[in-house]
Amino acid sequence: MKHSTRVALITSGGDCQGLNAAIRGVGKTLTQYVDNIEIFGMYDGYRGLIESDYSYMEAKDFSGILTQGGTVLGTSRQNYIPGQAIVDQDGNDVMPAMMDTYTRLNLDCVVVMGGNGTQKSAKLMMDAGMNVITLPKTIDNDIFGTDITFGFQSAVDIATNVMDYIHTTASSHGRIFLVELMGRDAGWLTLHAGIASGADVILIPEIPYDLACIEDVIERRKKRGRNYSIIAVAEGAIARGDALLSEDERRAIKERTEYPTISYRIARELQEITGQEARVAIPGHYQRGGPPCPYDRVLASQFGTAAAHLIIEKQYGYMVGMQKGEIVPVPLEEAASKTKFLPPDHPLIQSARDVGTGFGN
């Protein structure tokens, strides 16, 4: 006869700030309110569940980690076929191995913390018969069903700081500077950091850009005596002409291009048409690193404690989200159904336009 509640914790996908705060929120709440609780930390994302690589977590393991960046459990990215299967690098279905660990440990629930892909793969785990609760973690803020994800605000703070520093060197040398930020599919991070740092142009995936429109902003600044320009570029920014092509055609062009990223292409083109020196700065994984900002510590703690209460109430199959300032359970099938893109008519975009920020269109 089963006498204990058994829970596994998984941090999956790219790391970000706030994961340890979320782990702490789940663990401390369960150890406080549940008698005979057993918590297992799965190592390196889904790999731990697939290979039965885990450790038993005691109450002390949840202390002293609130302010730490990264994840004490480690993480990794796991391949999956959307809507079909979670697979290894050879394309083999790993669900049987995951289910074997789940069954042998006699788990009541698996708490999975991750981004868009993780929500979709967690839905497959739920469909296979596992009790699952997820937490929305990504610096991209693109998970459907929640207004905000933990990790996002910390990344905005870092990206903003980078552009604040770039302003001084750009103005000193009279250069165009392109700061390329993370955001392959959605422009939330670039928009927020661009507004916060006073970027002159913000380029996001949801609004294909026209080079002539960017040039217009630069030339207007020159006429006003501003000899430099700062352009915030999401890594997924796309030219208007390229946006009309098929995905296969865009991939073929990318494979042939001499430019390592979109920002280098834009910099070369702007330098040629404006005659002004253009440079690129890419903070890259700095945006994911370091301790979580206070906002993310609070948010991740809220999400973690809410997940613990769902476990206590045996309410499985949900992602914990925030909607209109309230922590709410979101059906996992809803959270995994789509990506939360940045609407081109979002009020923040209009606010940026109102102060003269260009969007390349």
Spatial separation of the C-alpha atoms in residues 205 and 243, rounded to whole Å:
9
Quick check: 296 and 154 in contact, CB under 8 A? yes
Catalytic residue among 44, 140, 142, 296: 140
Give the tens place of pLDDT for each residue, 184-231: 999 999 999 999 999 999 999 999 999 999 999 999 999 999 999 999
Instruction: Identify the burial level of 240 via C-beta atoms within 10 angstroms of its C-beta, where 0-12 means exposed, 13-18 middle and 19 or more buried.
Output: middle
pLDDT at position 28, please? 97
Name the DSSP letter for residue 62. G
Quick check: 327 and 306 in contact, CB under 8 A? yes
Q: Which of 317, 335, 328 is nearest to 133 (CA)?
A: 317
Angle at 295 between CA 290 and CA 299, to 5 degrees: 105
- Tokens matching residue 77: 């990215």
Collect the ranges in the chain with pLDDT lower than 50.
1
- Active-site residue 140, yes or no? yes
pLDDT at position 1, please? 40
Spell out the domains of the chain, with CATH numbers in brackets: 5-151+292-335 (3.40.50.450), 153-288 (3.40.50.460)
pLDDT at position 342, please? 96
Q: Which of 261, 221, 231 is nearest to 167 (CA)?
A: 231
pLDDT at position 251, please? 83
Spatial separation of the C-alpha atoms in residues 289 and 15, rounded to whole Å:
8
The distance from CA 183 to its chain's CA centroid, rounded to whole angstroms, is 8
Give the tens place of pLDDT for each residue, 122-147: 999 999 999 999 999 999 999 999 99
pLDDT at position 244, please? 87
Using CA atoms, how far residue 21 sits from 31, 34, 61, 142, 334, in Å, is: 15, 20, 12, 20, 25
Whole-model pTM: value is 0.93
